Amino acid sequence: MTELFRMNEAQPRLLDETGQGVIGAPMDRPEGLLKVTGRAPYAAEQRPDGLVHGVLLRATITHGRVTGFDEGAVKDLPGYLGLFHGPEFVALPAQGMSTAAPLQPDGAVGYHGQPIGLVVAESFEVARDAAARIGISYDEVPGAPVDPSATPLEANSGGDTETGDLEAAMSAAAASVDLTYTTPGHAAAAMEPHAAVAEWQDGRLTLHGALQMLQFNKAELADALSLDPDKVRLLAPYVGGGFGSKLGISAEHVAAAVASRALDRPVRVVMARQTVFDAVLRRSETWQRLRLAADAEGRLTAIGHDDRVSNVADQGFLEPVSAATRFLYAAPSRLMRQHVSRNHRTPAGSVRAPGEAVGMLALECAMDELAERLNLDPLDLRLRNIPETHPETGQAFTAHALAESLRDGARRFGWDARPETGTRREGEWRIGMGLASAARTNLLIPSAARVTLGPSGAVVETDMTDIGTGTYAIFAQIVAEVLGLAPDQVEVRLADSDLPPSSGSGGSFGASSAGSAVFLAARKIRETLIERIGGAPNTVRFADGTVEAGGTRHRLADLVSEPLAMEAKIEKGETAKSHFSSGFGAHFAEVAVSDVTGEIRVRRMLGVFGIGRVLNAKTARSQAVGGMIWGVGAALHEALEHDPRTGHIVGRDLANYHVPAHADIPRALEVVFLPERDDEANPMQSKGIGELGISGAGAAVLNAVHNATGLRLRDYPATPDKVIAGLDGLGRA
């Protein structure tokens, strides 16, 4: 029986009282050795008997319909097994957390590079050759719109909010800004390419996939194949990154399953890196207009955030650009408004920190521009405008560390030594400092887990995934702390859809949501054992494989001669209505800008964050560092480029899509976690971190560029050509 727990009130801090010393420690990943020695089997490395290989066939038009395939040139290839296509194929990747997968009706083509079929052969080489030779005929719709700026805009009225009178506040303000920013599309480009190995036995599908959210992926895949979900089993014990691109199922999963069922053999489909870029969800490009107004004391009187994004027709996801703007700062007049361009580029979807990653580039740079108009320190402007409650909903905030993060970070970084704009030089290099706030909504997603305690230790079971975020380590730490075990006495079994369903990995909610279910199941075992020995809960101590009560010590192994299993599920409750939970933080950056080349070098960075209880100091720091690096990439490097004729992505690999390399990231990159507990977030008092690390990081870099040079760039990324042009426009000293 599963015990259901709803978050209806602030939670007691059991993990502050347990005393085992495991939770929060910088524990190494239990699976780390397997990964670095190449012995952790990822989806593409599964090799069931009789395995054959599939290569996706993709559209070479932008918009229209497939009218036929010509296999004449491939039927005699040795080992060629066939071409599979039809309405079962996923036209657009699913978004995750859905119950249905979008299908490709009657051969419709919505974007150049869209998967339209699967070629299968005994060897990968023959399948790849055959895919290149098959002739495809189309009924093409000419002139399909691929440029978001040349497409009629639709209003996303569901995302609009308006309070007060923005125009009047702008007119009456002591200082105001009305600025436009643009960001390009971004790719998730996880290290592990998208892959699937499908096999059928007795009418049941087993699929090894690179997937983030198995509970939802199982439903999506069953829907695409017209199956009962009980006929689908998904396995994803090791996933080499996702960043949103593996939230839902996509073409390789459905294609492998369809072909495997027809051939009665296991089928393996692995996307080439170029196919990942072409056919997997991208982050939308954005156009953003920021309007900010303030009185003479620097109190915001108006915040306006208009944005435009794009996606293909019929896709519901729209980049939530103003997500952080809605609650980060207070102002009586507020306007948030979004419009969407429907075009025929690769579909847009969730990429790490959807909304905040690009929205805060604009918001936090605009805040600095307003501070300059007010002749006010950017730090002071932010501190003066932190709201008491959520500005739109009136909800109370849970633990709110923005002010402390800004003050603590300023002290650590030496903000008081920030130079006057454009005054500090070292030869050809101009030096400057910048800051930005960080914020990312914290979510609690329904999750279940089972914990079993036996004489030799404990076992954790849940379909939660580890996409490089440290789940194996964190869940072992939670159970070890609650039950007084060593971490190596806890076995963690993950990513099997036959196990209790969890939130999955995404949205920075995995560790806290699925981890809370693990915590609750372990706590139930703890309570049961306390009842068995007749101790008072506040006097019992679990430590080092023993339970001590009233001066008597019991070995755990003696108390569970028969395994003791408990299952728990957590979901939102009343606190989700009364309180708003978010991670908060602050970013600080120092940059050097070359007068000669326009190159921007990040010399040092600091991120200070309030994330509630830290569950593992090492993996939490890694998540924050990774996020900050991604923020640098968004500010200085990353941009998807599209062919203006067809809309397809032209920088289709990591040689041409520029991401930060080792030389771009300073060794002096520091992360600080404030001592915080968020009692309304979940029973462990923890919050997410990975996406918080991105949110605002790029803006701190760009604000530092202005401090160094006096140059304000609003078309991102800030590449050297734009810097040189800007410096020329300012006139070089």
Q: Tell me the two tokens of residue 37.
A: 């020695």
CA–CA separation, 263 and 568 (whole Å): 41
Q: Tell me, yes or no, whether 602 and 570 share the same domain.
A: no
In a domain, 333, yes or no: no
Asked if pLDDT for residue 536 goes beyond 90, the answer is no
CATH at residue 26: 3.30.365.10
- Are 131 and 56 a contacting pair, CB within 8 Å? yes
pLDDT band at 148 (very low <50, low <70, confident <90, very high): very high
CA–CA separation, 348 and 272 (whole Å): 19
User: Can you give the pLDDT at residue 551?
Assistant: 85
Q: What is the pLDDT of residues 663-677, one digit of tens each?
A: 999 988 999 999 999
- For residue 732, what are the contacts with CB-CB under 8 A and spacing of at least 6? 595
Residue that is last in its domain, among 282, 298, 324: 282
Question: CA 169, 172, 176: angle at the middle one, nearest 5?
Answer: 75
Alpha-helix residue ranges (DSSP H) falling in 264-317: 273-279
Q: Tell me, yes or no, whether 567 and 703 share the same domain.
A: no
User: Can you give the pLDDT at residue 102?
Assistant: 56
198 beta partners:
207, 267
CA–CA separation, 455 and 561 (whole Å): 6
Q: What are phi and psi of 52, to 5 degrees?
A: -125, 170
In a domain, 370, yes or no: no
User: Can you give the pLDDT at residue 547?
Assistant: 95
372 is catalytic: no
Q: Tell me, yes or no, whether 128 and 201 share the same domain.
A: yes
678 vs 550, residue with greater confidence: 678
CA–CA separation, 537 and 527 (whole Å): 8
Name the DSSP letter for residue 649: B
Asked if pLDDT for residue 592 goes beyond 60, the answer is yes
Asked if pLDDT for residue 660 goes beyond 90, the answer is yes
In a domain, 290, yes or no: no
Q: Tell me, yes or no, whether 111 and 212 share the same domain.
A: yes
> Residue 133: which H helix or E strand, with range?
helix 124-133
In a domain, 484, yes or no: yes
pTM of the model: 0.97
User: Can you give the pLDDT at residue 97?
Assistant: 73
Residue that is last in its domain, among 575, 607, 624: 575
Q: Which domain holds residue 85?
A: 44-143+188-282
In a domain, 415, yes or no: yes
Average pLDDT score over the chain: 95
User: Can you give the pLDDT at residue 538?
Assistant: 83
CB atoms within 10 A of CB 530: 18
Cis amide linkage into residue 102, ω under 30° from 0: no
Q: Tell me, yes or no, whether 196 and 262 share the same domain.
A: yes
Q: Tell me, yes or no, whether 24 and 48 share the same domain.
A: no
Q: Tell me, yes or no, whether 107 and 8 share the same domain.
A: no
User: Can you give the pLDDT at residue 726?
Assistant: 96
Q: What percent of the chain has pLDDT over 70?
A: 98
Cα dist. 589→448, 449, 584, 604, 611 in Å?
40, 41, 17, 6, 21
Q: Tell me, yes or no, whether 420 and 518 share the same domain.
A: no
Asked if pLDDT for residue 395 goes beyond 70, the answer is yes
Q: What is the pLDDT of residues 540-589, one digit of tens each?
A: 999 999 999 988 999 999 999 899 999 999 999 999 999 999 999 999 99
Residue that is last in its domain, among 233, 257, 282: 282
Q: What percent of the chain has pLDDT over 90?
A: 93
Residue the block writes with tokens 């990975």: 690
User: Can you give the pLDDT at residue 682?
Assistant: 98
Catalytic residue among 199, 461, 481, 691: 691
Question: CA 87, 90, 95: angle at the middle one, nearest 5?
Answer: 145
Q: What is the pLDDT of residues 61-104, one digit of tens each?
A: 999 999 999 999 999 999 999 999 988 776 667 777 765 555 56
Q: Tell me, yes or no, whether 438 and 485 share the same domain.
A: no
Q: Which of 327, 338, 336, 339 is nearest to 304 (CA)?
A: 336
Torsion angle in degrees (nearest 10) through CA of 577, 578, 581, 585:
150
User: Can you give the pLDDT at residue 93?
Assistant: 73
pLDDT band at 215 (very low <50, low <70, confident <90, very high): very high
User: Can you give the pLDDT at residue 91?
Assistant: 65
Q: Which of 462, 382, 459 is nearest to 415 (CA)?
A: 382
Q: What is the pLDDT of residues 436-474, one digit of tens each?
A: 999 999 999 999 999 999 999 999 999 999 999 999 999
Q: Tell me the two tokens of residue 201.
A: 């036995």
User: Can you give the pLDDT at residue 98?
Assistant: 67
Q: How many domains does the chain have?
A: 3
Q: Which of 538, 525, 712, 476 is nearest to 19 (CA)?
A: 538
CA–CA separation, 438 and 693 (whole Å): 7
Cα dist. 375→174, 197, 292, 296, 358 in Å?
11, 60, 15, 10, 26
Beta strands 429-441; 447-454: pairing state: unpaired
Q: Which of 219, 229, 244 is nearest to 101 (CA)?
A: 219
CA–CA separation, 400 and 329 (whole Å): 12
User: Can you give the pLDDT at residue 315?
Assistant: 87
CB atoms within 10 A of CB 529: 22
Q: Tell me, yes or no, whether 605 and 715 share the same domain.
A: yes
> Residue 172: which H helix or E strand, with range?
helix 166-172
In a domain, 417, yes or no: yes
Q: Tell me the two tokens of residue 672.
A: 């600080």
Q: Tell me, yes or no, whether 519 and 663 share the same domain.
A: no
Mean pLDDT over 664-691 rounds to: 96
In a domain, 249, yes or no: yes
Asked if pLDDT for residue 373 goes beyond 60, the answer is yes
Q: Tell me the two tokens of residue 6.
A: 């709803």
Q: Tell me, yes or no, whether 94 and 135 share the same domain.
A: yes
In a domain, 262, yes or no: yes
